[in-house]
Structure 1
Amino acid sequence: MELITSADVAAAEERLAGITVRTPLVPCEWAPGELLVKPENLQPVGAFKIRGAANALARLVPERRRSGVITHSSGNHGQALAYAARAHGVRCVVVVPAGAPRVKVDAMHRFGAETVEVEPARRAETARGLADEQGLTLVPPFDHPDVIAGQGTVGSEIAADRPDIEAVLVPVGGGGLAAGVATAVKARCPGAAVIGVEPELAADAKESLESGRLVTWPPERTGRTVADGVRVGPSELTFAHLRARLDGIVTVTEEEILAAVGALARSARLVAEPSGAVATAAYLAGRTPPGRTVAVISGGNVMPDVLARAVAAEG
């Protein structure tokens, strides 16, 4: 299976100039050791997903782009594709799983998306069917080289800003972000460790890497975690990247995830959704290598009640 290259990520950087925010690295002096966070919650859609969606849309031939696009998403990728499609003036349909956070679905509508709600296990199948029926182009949330390359620009920015970095911690759901970041960081900072982070309740990528084959957990199993953005597991394409380029995966508990959401809000003044806080959670729990570390905050589209509960927990 062909993997993306650092050249693909560099090309994506050029396409995304002026579209995405070049997020800073924020030092966390309140945390032990040397922790910096990369706040992708500051992107226009509140998450890193704008990078992959915008890159994939830009790569479509004009005729296919004009016919409209479709995806399946629990929230952040759907918002990102809707935002990018609106900029191009094209139709966007998002198939969302039942139970997706209302704050994310409402944002999709604000960006002009049409949504179709289905049971979680049927969202990819439904999106493929509607794409065929309506002549739409499917832009998957992670299972595409252009999406992975766009997400990789998170890693190229980290490497450019801190070439002396020793470890990069990345949330893992579908694996597109981790695949892209590992590709970019390993090319520019080969001595740095790139570590994926998953909730214990949705650790299918960790099990896959340990067994040497792709293992898929059913939605009723991954749906137990509060980190809704990482309830989906890797594809064959992203798993191939993770096997080749990731240095390992660690897991965090639900309590550790919510504690990290609270700590980021109180001490860093950054709003992170539970999925976005898992990398910081792993660092604060002492599960990652020592040294100068960047934890990627992948998104900040959190339900208000979840944020309030996390902030109050240790406030």
Structure 2
Amino acid sequence: MFGIEEIQAARERLAPYIYQTPVIHLQNLDETLGCQVYIKPECMQRTNSFKIRGALNKMLTLPKEELKNGVVAASSGNHGKGVAFAAKLLGVKATIVIPDNAPQVKVDGIRNLGAEVVQCKLSERHVIAGQLSEKYGYTIIHPYDDYQIIAGQGTLGLEIAEQLPDADFVVVPIGGGGLIGGVSTAVKSEIPGARVIGAEPAALRRYAKSVEAGERVNLEEQRSVADALLTQKPGEKNYPIVTANVEGFVGVKDEFMLKAMKLLLMEGKILAEPSSCIGIGAALQGELKKWNVKESDRVCFVVSGGNVGLDQIKKLESIC
């Protein structure tokens, strides 16, 4: 069984290598969002994303024998950058399989860390990673469906619990479920009264649909500005963890993610990618009203990454 002990062990393992990012109260956003706005800015993390936590934790737990031929990872970009960083640290070869429409800033970030990049259709990432593993003996570092990955991401939740022990809500971006699985486990263990909400793209509500169906469902491939959150099916290991600890799920439209990105940049002075702004977008869209979030409630929004290029920032000029 997966629990807080695995997350605590991951924290000790990762301590020499990652940053403990702060929790920041963005008071000038309180009135706009209708709550006490706190953020956990993983855009300031090494590799500019929370993904380094899980990737490095997984690779630090693997025997050298499993790493000798190298590693391969399917990714939308941020996980790949985390794996590339960990591989460079450990002196092993890394191959990252990412969508052919991934933001160039993510492709360049992976290559700059010395990893090989293979690009393909979004839906083919895991298939191609599996083929490369079989052909070359690479060890697969899954982006979310792995307990060591979930534990690594959960270290972020432990930090929130220490930095904001009186949090009322924690709003977390959700794709396959690695981040929210770990964060919700840590938060519910340390702050039982806090409520964790998952924010997913309105175009791809794989968790909401799965809960409605009573089992994991696989949705058709979709496009969204939330390029890091386009996993089509909840992870097998993640799903029971998430459904046990998460209050519910909200669907956020692209326009509100972009509005949130602009708000964070212009008013909060935080540069984050669209996927990472989805929680703020949910608040702007009015989704948090479903949980009766009050002006006095302390809401921590996980801003999960900041791998964004100038081309994406320029598009914000037309966003009202």
**Shorter-chain TM band:** over 0.9
What is the deviation of 1:311?
Answer: 5.0
What is the rounded CA distance, in whole Å, between the counterparts of 1:193 and 1:185 in structure 2?
9
Q: Which amino acid in 2 is paired with 1:275?
A: S
1:216 aligns with 218
2:298 aligns with 292
| 1:187-232: CA deviation from partner (whole Å, max 9, x where unpaired) | 000100000001111211111122211111122xx22x11100011
The alignment partner of 1:198 has SS state of strand
Q: Which amino acid in 2 is paired with 1:48?
A: F
- TM-score norm. by structure 2 comes to 0.94
What is the deviation of 1:313?
Answer: 2.3
Contact 1:266 1:311 in 2 (8 A): no
What is the deviation of 1:312?
Answer: 5.0
1:269 aligns with 269
Are 1:7 and 2:13 an aligned pair?
A: no
What is the rounded CA distance, in whole Å, between the counterparts of 2:102 and 2:208 in structure 1?
24
Provide the aligned length of Structure 1 versus Structure 2: 309
What is the rounded CA distance, in whole Å, between the counterparts of 2:76 and 2:188 in structure 1?
30
2:88 aligns with 86
1:149 aligns with 151
1:50 aligns with 52
Q: Which amino acid in 2 is paired with 1:22?
A: Q
| 1:30-65: CA deviation from partner (whole Å, max 9, x where unpaired) | 222201000000011111000000000000012112
Q: Which amino acid in 2 is paired with 1:24?
A: P
Q: Which moved more, 1:134-143 or 1:113-122?
A: 113-122
What is the rounded CA distance, in whole Å, between the counterparts of 2:280 and 2:156 in structure 1?
16
Q: Which amino acid in 1 is paired with 2:27?
A: E
1:260 aligns with 260
2:97 aligns with 95
Q: Which structure 1 residue ranges, 5 or more long, are not aligned? A: none
2:283 aligns with 283
Contact 1:172 1:197 in 2 (8 A): yes
The alignment partner of 1:186 has SS state of helix
What is the rounded CA distance, in whole Å, between the counterparts of 1:20 and 1:216 in structure 2?
34
Q: Which amino acid in 2 is paired with 1:230?
A: L
| 1:139-182: CA deviation from partner (whole Å, max 9, x where unpaired) | 01111000000000111100011111110000001110010001
What is the rounded CA distance, in whole Å, between the counterparts of 1:310 and 1:177 in structure 2?
27
Contact 1:78 1:108 in 2 (8 A): yes
**Pick from 26, 33, 41: which aligns with 2:24?**
26
What is the rounded CA distance, in whole Å, between the counterparts of 2:8 and 2:284 in structure 1?
32
Contact 1:103 1:301 in 2 (8 A): yes
- Residue correspondence of structure 1 range 134-173 to structure 2 within 5 A: 134-173=136-175
| 1:73-105: CA deviation from partner (whole Å, max 9, x where unpaired) | 110000000011101111000111221111101
Q: Which amino acid in 1 is paired with 2:277?
A: A
Q: Which amino acid in 2 is paired with 1:127?
A: A
What is the rounded CA distance, in whole Å, between the counterparts of 1:129 and 1:174 in structure 2?
21
Are 1:62 and 2:64 an aligned pair?
A: yes
The alignment partner of 2:250 has SS state of strand
Contact 1:194 1:247 in 2 (8 A): yes
What is the deviation of 1:284?
Answer: 3.0
Contact 1:74 1:229 in 2 (8 A): yes
What is the deviation of 1:125?
Answer: 1.1
The alignment partner of 1:37 has SS state of strand
1:232 aligns with 231
Q: Which moved more, 1:273-282 or 1:58-67?
A: 58-67
**Pick from 289, 308, 312: which aligns with 2:314?**
308
Identity of aligned residues (%): 39
Contact 1:265 1:311 in 2 (8 A): no
What is the rounded CA distance, in whole Å, between the counterparts of 1:120 and 1:231 in structure 2?
8
RMSD (CA atoms)? 1.2
Are 1:249 and 2:249 an aligned pair?
A: yes
Q: Which structure 2 residue ranges, 5 or more long, are not aligned? A: none
Q: Which amino acid in 2 is paired with 1:265?
A: L
